[in-house]
Chain A
Amino acid sequence: MFVRALALVVLVPVLMYSAVLCLVGLGLLILPLELRLLRRLADGERDRLGRWAAASTPPAGPQARRRLMAVLSDPATGRDLRWAAVMTVAGTALGLIGAALFLFPAAVLVLVGLWWLFPADDPIRLILNVPIDSWGSAVYAGVPQFLLSVLLALVGPPLLARLAASVSRWLLAPSAAAVLAERVSTLDRTRTGAIDAHGNELRRIERDLHDGTQARLVSLAMQLGLAERTLSADPAAVGPLLTRAREGAEEAMAELRDVLRSVYPPILADRGLAGAVSAVVARCPVPATVELGELGQPGGPGGPRGLGDVPAQIEVAVYFAITEALTNVAKHAHAGSVSVTLARAGGTLRAEITDDGRGGAAEGGGTGLRGIRQRIEAVDGVLRVQSPPGGPTVITVECPCGS
């Protein structure tokens, strides 16, 4: 806090000076560096404000760009500068008043104790304008004055600090319009991702059916045609042909089952998300418990599957996320137990998978976490992985699913 204030007091004049130096070119080089430093200070302050205030101010993130114009075009830079300028003056003033209030009781004590040093015709008067000219008046006027000053010292500085924090927050926080613009650009990005993911999925299904099932059925029809022709010429040779044809049909069925499972797992169609997740949990090699919260009204708008109206693609994404997460736990976590919770709060479907394993789960490294992230982000959801070394690992999935 004090370090930041000092840094600010130093940095603001330096910034002004550098801005002037831009006229001779040198500023163009050093100003971006200074602005990056300022961003770190401002974000430190944003972080602090976020920690002890209800209305949090998310850090704007480090300045990534190096060119002056790019740095200046970042809307947060303007807020950083505004904050630096105002807080250098206002922050210093408030800080001084706070310090004065803090020292006030000591001053009262000293002055009241030393009343006899003042001339008799101009006795010392403190807060209440009561002259103190004897030990008696020092007691009956000095004690309340001392108590009053203690009260001020206790109440004043926190109030001032809160005032400084609100000024700081007002200067640092993005405006509602800026927040909205940010949200729109995020939505834009995820929507594009979702459309791409959907397209890739359609192409994958088409390819699987075309290259696999369709090809197998064609070859099956050929084998049967051949058997038909062989029947009149050489009946004995038909047996093996038919056997091969039946085996081909079985392979086609197995393949088709896999494709269907990847499109929409049949257990979801049969039992809805809650039933499907319970089945997966029951199948987990690590002892697992499941806790299903409110998901929707049975027989409600979602029909007999009792899921309210969770869209199918979100069901699938969440189902695969939980399946994959449990597979990870079984394969990598060395966990003694795992718990799954699944509940819906308003328009958000939330799943949490917690295991007491060794932690240290990272994306990549064949854990399937990246696949989960892609699936969840494709439906505009959020995936959070907390996995400190030594565990526990908590994987949280949140998907918007209409209200």
Chain B
Amino acid sequence: MRIVIAEDNALLAQGLTALLEALGNEVLATTEDAESFVAAAVTHRPDVAVVDVRLPPSFTDEGIRAALRAREHVHGLPILVLSQYVEDTYARELLADGTGVGYLLKDRVARVDDFVDALHRVAAGGTALDPDVVRQLLATRGNPLSRLTEREREVLALMAQGYGNSEIADRLVVTERAVHKHVGNIFVKFDLPPEDSGDRRVLAVLTHLGAPQRRSRRPGPEAD
């Protein structure tokens, strides 16, 4: 794949470049701040961009905003955001912009196979969310979740990370038909219209769980 990197820490930028090139990818540009990243994204039109959340000049959430800005210029540009810690607020902001986005802890890069897998999913227009983010998102509103079975919750967590039915089936060691049935049940329990395309359904579920100040229409039993 052709990749652009935005990472101001030289040590991490070198490490990431070495890792990606060792896996047969082409790193077109390594940028150190939001401004030059957006420019490089427009110039190179990469298959996927890897962006650090904290970038100069403000060292706050510059990376998230740069990612969204770049996608304004290059519509649907796949972007994988990496961060030293995850914050569900950022995940919501990225997901609100549509699909082809990912948000992972930097730690996950060490699990090379998982990292590459996530990178490919984002490049293909899917989503990749860190399990920690998903945990935060699912913990946000306890009530609708209390109506799910243990198995349905496992399926939901994997679905939210961006996995498709076949991958979920592999991970949980069940048939794809069983996964399909669980997904159907989750949508019914959440009062959501059935969605089969992988990415739209992730958005539907996360929007449902993450919409602040909105309650499920059928309040579940109070979670203590």
Contacts and interface: CB of A to CB of B under 8 A. Distances in A.
Nearest to A279: B89
A269 B60 contact: yes
Contacts, number: 57
B11 interface: no
Report the contact-size class of chain A (Cβ under 8 Å from the partner). Answer: 20 to 34
Report the contact-size class of chain B (Cβ under 8 Å from the partner). Answer: 20 to 34
A254 B86 CA distance: 11
A292 interface: no
Interface stretch (A20-28, A167-175, A282-290, A391-399): A282-290
B173 interface: no
B87 interface: yes
A204 interface: no
Most chain B CB within a 10 A radius of its CB, from A270, A281, A287: A270
A285 B139 CA distance: 7
Contacts of A281: 212
B150 interface: no
Interface string B202-224: 00000000101101000000111
Nearest to B111: A246
B21 interface: no
Contacts of B136: 283
Nearest to B90: A270
Contact of B140 (A266, A269, A271, A285): A285
Nearest to B136: A283
Given A283-B139, A334-B222, A266 B87 contact: yes
Contacts of B110: 246, 249-250
A4 interface: no
Interface of chain A, main secondary structure: helix
A257 interface: yes
A305 B60 contact: yes
A357 to B, nearest CB: 11
Given A246-B110, A257-B85, A279-B87, A270 B60 contact: yes
A207 interface: no
A257 B61 contact: no
A171 B87 CA distance: 59
Contacts of A254: 107
Interface string A281-315: 11101011100000000000000110000000000
A223 to B, nearest CB: 14
Interface string A13-54: 000000000000000000000000000000000000000000
Interface of A: 246, 249-250, 253-254, 257, 260-261, 266-267, 269-271, 275, 278-279, 281-283, 285, 287-289, 304-305, 331, 334
10 contacts: A250-B107, A257-B84, A269-B59, A271-B89, A279-B89, A282-B88, A283-B140, A285-B142, A287-B213, A331-B224
